[in-house]
Amino acid sequence: MNLRGILKQYFSYLESVRGLSEQTLRAYRTDMERFRNFIEEGNLEWSELKPKDVRGFLGALSREGLGASGIDRTLSAVKGLYRYGQRFEVIGHNPFENVKSSGRSRPLPEVLSEPEILSLLSLPDESYPGMRDRAILELLYSTGCRVAEVASMDLKDVVRGKRAVRVRGKGGKERYVFLGTPAREALALYIGQRNGHVKPGSVDAGRALFLNLRGTRLTQRGIALIVAKYLRQSGISKKISPHTFRHSFATHLLDHGADIRIVQEMLGHSSISTTQIYTHVGLEKLKKIYREAHPHGKR
């Protein structure tokens, strides 16, 4: 099978079976376009690459100006293609199997302190948009949900008796996340006003939990703009996004003694290795406290 054919099958698999988001699929397509260009320009067969061809591809990525993280990401995408080919017996070997990544460590995520979180949560006013915004901010921090998960929530997903919300995560996986008292109260106040702001005749708006000011479903972009608005008001200088609430949720749970596997379940991570980055965030905090407090810490 030629490369274009296997790529078509591979992306269909990533979308329909793996359930990857459109944003992730776009990144994969960009990476695989680099690989396809290399193969076609060199008149190579993707299924018969030699070690020198692999080195040539890595060199081409470097000459293109990609940094270590960009090369690692592209390499990961190409390895995934070959693993797919082996799994479905389209190809017998993976020429990239023994190629190591740069080993570049992932940057630690930015995290808001507990006082900073409280400061942000106190900013929305008592108007209808303010009630909605407070409910969103409280929900992001109380549950650690991804922004896409919050944007896709429907009113029926709120399980009031159990103080929980049903979430549809990556790959279509469902899980339940829990609402603390502030989040539950903020959500109840918002829902009490929501029905009067639904766009008439819109079925999706009738289902959606969070609405924009036009009465239709609030998008990920809309949530990002809401977070940015309150960040400007807060005066917090950290570079944060809606995802920062997720980082802060996980870090604060671990700081207060939660088991990492429980946090993994709450975040909807398929692998605990993804969750472990938050233990490093906590370690950095401890190092900072040590350096500032111990008489010899600054030496």
Q: Catalytic residue positions?
A: 146, 170, 243, 246, 269, 278
The least confident of 3-12, 39-48, 264-273 is 264-273
Residue 131 has pLDDT above 80, yes or no: yes
Tens of pLDDT, residue by residue over 48-65, are 898 888 888 988 888 888
The secondary structure of 2-42, three-state, reads CHHHHHHHHHHHHHHCCCCCHHHHHHHHHHHHHHHHHHHHC
**Residue 195 within a domain:** yes
Confidence band of 119 (pLDDT split at 50, 70, 90) = very high
CA-nearest of 18, 13, 8 to 169 is 18
Same domain, 252 and 121: yes
Question: Can you say whether residue 235 is alpha, beta or left, with left for phi > 0 and alpha for psi between -120 and 50 degrees?
Answer: left
Same domain, 264 and 122: yes
**Residue 134 within a domain:** yes
Q: The CATH number of the domain where 124 resides is what?
A: 1.10.443.10
Note the pLDDT of residue 132: 97
Report CA-CA distances (Å) from 66 to 29, 46, 107, 110. 16, 22, 17, 24
The radius of gyration of the chain from alpha carbons, rounded to an integer in Å, stands at 23
**Residue 100 within a domain:** no
Q: The CATH number of the domain where 9 resides is what?
A: 1.10.150.130
Which residue type is seen at 78? V
**Residue 94 within a domain:** no
Estimate the crossing angle of helix 68-87 against helix 3-16, to 10 degrees.
90
Same domain, 172 and 257: yes
Tens of pLDDT, residue by residue over 179-220, are 999 999 999 999 999 999 999 999 999 999 999 999 999 999
| Domains in the chain, number | 2
**Residue 30 within a domain:** yes
Confidence band of 126 (pLDDT split at 50, 70, 90) = very high
Same domain, 198 and 280: yes
**Residue 248 within a domain:** yes
Note the pLDDT of residue 93: 82
Same domain, 195 and 69: no
Tens of pLDDT, residue by residue over 73-109, are 888 889 889 989 888 888 888 888 877 766 555 566 7
Same domain, 135 and 73: no
E strand segments, the chain: 158-159, 164-168, 174-178
Instruction: Please give the average per-residue pLDDT across 124-149, as a whole number.
Output: 94
- Domain ranges, residue 252: 114-291
Question: Would you give the distance in Å from CA 157 to the centre of its chain?
Answer: 21
**Residue 125 within a domain:** yes
